[in-house]
Each structure stands twice: as C-alpha cells, then as structure tokens.
Structure 1
Amino acid sequence: MTQPSSDSITDLPISTTFDLPGFAIERTLGLSWGLIVRSVGTVKGISGGFRALRAGEVPQYTEVVNAARHTALERLVTHVRELGGNAVLGVRFDSSDVGGGLAEIIAYGTAVVVRPL
C-alpha cells in the first residue's frame, strides 16, 4: 500500500472496529489523536441561543460541531501519518466543555501499518 496524499482523509483506511477486512495488520504504532478547541462565535451563538429556546435541532450548533469533528478527524489522520501509519483503527470521538463557550473535540484511535491480503 502506498502512502496516501496528505490532503485527503478518504484514501487512508479508517475504521471504528479493530480489524480491517481485506487487510493484514503488520504493525501497531500506538495511540493517535486529533484535537480542536472550538468556539461557536458571537453571531452563531446569539442566533443559536434564540433557536435553543424552541424545541428541536439548532442548526447553527450542528454546523459548528460537524466542522470541528471533521477537523479533528483530519488532524487524527495527520498524526497517524506522522507516526508512519497507513490506517487507523478503533476510531472514536469525544467532546467536553472547557469553559468560556469553548468546546474540545477529539478524534482518537490506533495507528497501524496494514497491507492488502
């Protein structure tokens, strides 16, 4: 398997499971992660705050969280490549409030070297 380009996460196998059908795990490189701390921003915070008064989805917040998860995943893939991996297994997301309207989003998993069967 050749090293994928660094501008795309779609050419690196990513799995929430700990195996990858069609591939053999040659080496486990260890824990890898991608982290972002994000603010909703003033405009989205105000308009989202008004929306939150009603029941239902708050699209302003959904958009920010979705973008943050994508960024965290991109950073995870970058870290995997820095470790010499060509795949990441057991991927999970976690988030927490760090105060002051800031939220931490982390994507983490196990960096591995795989080869096609």
Structure 2
Amino acid sequence: MLISNMEVVPGKRITQHLGLVQGSTVRAKHAGKDLMASLKNIFGGELRGYTELLSESRDEAMQRMEQQAKTLGANAILNVRFSTSSIAAGASELFVYGSAVIVEDR
C-alpha cells in the first residue's frame, strides 16, 4: 500500500477515487509515566514515555486506516493528514485520514 501526504505521486496516475478513509486510537497516559514526565518538566529533556506512546498511537491509527483502504480495494492512500484532540482528562485521540485511491504506473 502506497501511503503519501502528497495529492499526486510522480509516475503514477489516479484511476479511481474510493473515498475518505480514516483510523484513530484513543490512549490514556500511564500514571507512572505521567509522574516521570512531571519531573522531566522541572529538569528538562525528552519525555521518552510520551514519545513512545505517540509513536505507537500513530502506528495503530495508520494500520486501521490502511485496513479500511484495503477493504475498499485501494492500493494507495493520498493526501494523508494527522490530527490530535483531547478526549478526557489524561486521554487523547490520534486521528489519521486520507483519500483511498487506485493508482497505476503511467
């Protein structure tokens, strides 16, 4: 599956647009990681626990979007965008969406 944030792919021609596909995940912060993040805020540095959480969330949301596109018969997802939002205290959603298409070589 070709996944790109571009609207077109050089050397490829869009032959069919299958519609919007999306994937999301809602994750809550781990209390222990949250405590360590608070300490990092005092001393500075990367919040590795949150970096890992976001990376895992992006991967899961992308897999869900890709599965939806495969179900539609797509071989590419173009114009991919990410969004985040706060759902509840300590929980956030990571949302990814794009256009499911069929592309062919020119």
TM, length-normalised to structure 2: 0.92
State the 1:56 CA deviation.
Answer: 3.3
1:82-109 Cα shifts (integer Å, max 9, x gaps): 1221100000110011112001001110
> Partner of 1:77 in structure 2?
66
Question: In structure 2, what is the Cα distance between the partners aligned to 1:71 and 1:92?
Answer: 15
Write 1 or 2 for the structure with the bigger share of helix: 2
Structure 2: 5+ residue stretches without partners: none
* Residue 57 to residue 104, structure 1, CA distance change in 2 (3 Å): same
The answer on 1:106 being equivalent to 2:103 is no
- Kindly indicate whether structure 1 or structure 2 has the higher relative contact order, using CA contacts under 8 Å at least 6 residues apart: 2
Structure 1: 5+ residue stretches without partners: 1-11
The answer on 1:14 being equivalent to 2:3 is yes
Question: In structure 1, what is the Cα distance between the partners aligned to 2:44 and 2:37?
Answer: 12
Question: In structure 1, what is the Cα distance between the partners aligned to 2:92 and 2:41?
Answer: 17
Write 1 or 2 for the structure with the bigger share of strand: 2
State the 1:55 CA deviation.
Answer: 2.8
The answer on 1:116 being equivalent to 2:73 is no
**1:44-55 alignment runs, 5 A limit:** 44-55=33-44
> Partner of 1:9 in structure 2?
none
TM, length-normalised to structure 1: 0.84
